[in-house]
Copies of this chain bind each other. A is one copy, B any other.
């Protein structure tokens, strides 16, 4: 298959490496000529250019740009696509984006390969990035089944775990397990910093160990990622934050009123439930 990849960062570059290894011919698109050269040198693409017109021959386009650029990129692709060319993306929030992109191109199939790395950029790309990781496909009721099947087949060929659900179910689920934890974890760091007794703050910094390190990890991560989650998944995140505040208030109430057996029951329920998320 001839596959176009727009955006040659970690995800786009890794898709290129993996798809070329599977025998596909990969056409890359990057804004900067330097990135085009680097992607060819790395073997992530067969050829690369900055002009979307170079994608005219492809059977499928994977849009791997930052989330804000996905729908505009789909719109800009339209003049260059043959009928029934499948366009898919890798955005980590799906709701409005899938609607907007589908309005531009009915053969758009929203998707979210849930793979990543601490490092960003093309240099960190790896052909096995998607192996055994979830690859969520989020079609609309009107998305052509043939288009969905082509993205499912491609994801399966990457040896990813392919799931299909609605864009809104995807967004609610990732709000719980990915976007809410960032806000919860960042609030922990912020709360500690508000300690007005500097001796206690210094002591807390000295004594903190693995428990604090784990709980604060994602809250101390890349601020751009956290901001993107909040901006593009605002509604689902607010719903999760509200649910979280209710549970935190409930636990606080048990401590305040010294309801120790009820607190023990809650902590036991948490211990028992956690493995279902692992």
Contacts and interface: CB of A to CB of B under 8 A. Distances in A.
Contact of A271 (B173, B220, B263): B220
B271 A190 contact: no
Nearest to A163: B206
A274 to B, nearest CB: 3
A195 B182 contact: no
Interface in A233-278: 234, 237-238, 240-241, 243-252, 254-256, 258, 260, 263-264, 266-271, 273-278
A208 B255 contact: no
Contact of A267 (B212, B227, B237): B227
Given A204-B176, A208-B177, A255-B230, A185 B247 contact: no
Interface residues of A, number: 92
A154 interface: no
Given A181-B211, A217-B215, A243 B273 contact: no
Contacts of A1: none
Nearest to A112: B207
A197 B243 CA distance: 13
B220 A185 contact: no
Given A165-B199, A258-B234, A215 B278 contact: no
Which of A184, A192, A234 has the most C-beta atoms of chain B within 10 angstroms of its own C-beta? A192
B183 A221 contact: no
Given A241-B255, A251-B187, A177 B134 contact: no
A248 B169 contact: no
Contacts of A194: 243, 246-247
Nearest to A254: B230
5 contacts: A169-B197, A181-B215, A189-B277, A194-B247, A205-B277
Interface of A: 114, 133-134, 136, 163, 165, 169-170, 172-174, 176-178, 180-195, 197, 199-200, 203-209, 211-224, 226-227, 230-231, 234, 237-238, 240-241, 243-252, 254-256, 258, 260, 263-264, 266-271, 273-278
Q: Top 4 A-B pairs ranked by shortest CB distance?
A: A220-B274, A223-B267, A177-B208, A173-B203
